[in-house]
Amino acid sequence: MRSVSSTQDVARRLPIGSVVVADHQTAGRGRLNRRWEAPAGSALLVSFVLQTNPLLSLAAGIAAAEACGAAVRLKWPNDLLLDGRKLGGILVEATPDKAVCGIGINLSWAPAGAARLDQPREWLLARLRAKIDYWSQAPPDAVIDRWRELSDTIGRRVRVELPDRVVEGLAQDIGSGGELIVDGEPFVAGSVTHL
């Protein structure tokens, strides 16, 4: 599609198995109503309609990192990093009967301080479709193990910002439900900064 409000809004009305790709979004979004910016034609902007799966956000991160190439790492919970800078992001919006998994990856443009991949969109989309098929159905243990391997967060000092407090400590691991464990305490949500 050429221009949509958000590929998430189009995908939400479609059945499981659908894939929506757009050149441009007038209201691309991240988590917590943050904006996702991309000039027309400069990025891969795609939403997959999938079965619900509690580890889908991590599984989609793995799929996107593998599709982009070996240099890409993952920052908990949902950022793709290239050379420590944000290359792309993942937004999972679930209803009881399906999950809409949105992925944005910078190709020919990136905001200041962010990264871009400089690869053709169709090449990346074909690789991503295959990886999403595989990882969205992979066993939970395999998802957690592969996420650990691709992680740039585990082993680092981090700051976790929650609505009511801020925690700093060592990101030790992720748990079996995908939660980030910082100094022994599990976090299921929050914004993480690598220190």
Please report, as ranges, the residues that interact with ligand BT5 according to CB under 6 A: 6-8, 25, 28-32, 34-38, 45-47, 78-79, 86, 89-91, 102-104, 106, 110-111, 114
| Smallest distance, ligand BT5 to C-beta of residue 131, A | 16
| Smallest distance, ligand BT5 to C-beta of residue 141, A | 26
Residue 88: half-sphere exposure toward Cβ, Cα within 13 Å: 33
Report the alpha-carbon distance of residue 142 to residue 98 in Å, rounded.
22
**Helix (H), strand (E) at residue 71:** none
| Smallest distance, ligand BT5 to C-beta of residue 160, A | 14
Q: Which residue is nearest to ligand BT5 (CB)?
A: 89
Nearer to ligand BT5, 1 or 145 (CB): 1
**Strand order across the beta sheet in which 72-75 lies:** 19-22, 43-50, 99-106, 85-94, 79-82, 72-75
| Smallest distance, ligand BT5 to C-beta of residue 54, A | 18
Q: What string of DSSP letters covers 75-115?
A: ETTTEEEETTEEEEEEEEEE-SS-EEEEEEEESS---TT--
CA distances from 168 to 4, 160, 191 (A): 39, 6, 12
Nearer to ligand BT5, 104 or 190 (CB): 104
Residue 123: half-sphere exposure toward Cβ, Cα within 13 Å: 7
Nearer to ligand BT5, 46 or 68 (CB): 46
| Smallest distance, ligand BT5 to C-beta of residue 184, A | 25
Nearer to ligand BT5, 25 or 153 (CB): 25
Nearer to ligand BT5, 61 or 143 (CB): 61
Terminal Cα-to-Cα distance of the chain (whole angstroms): 39
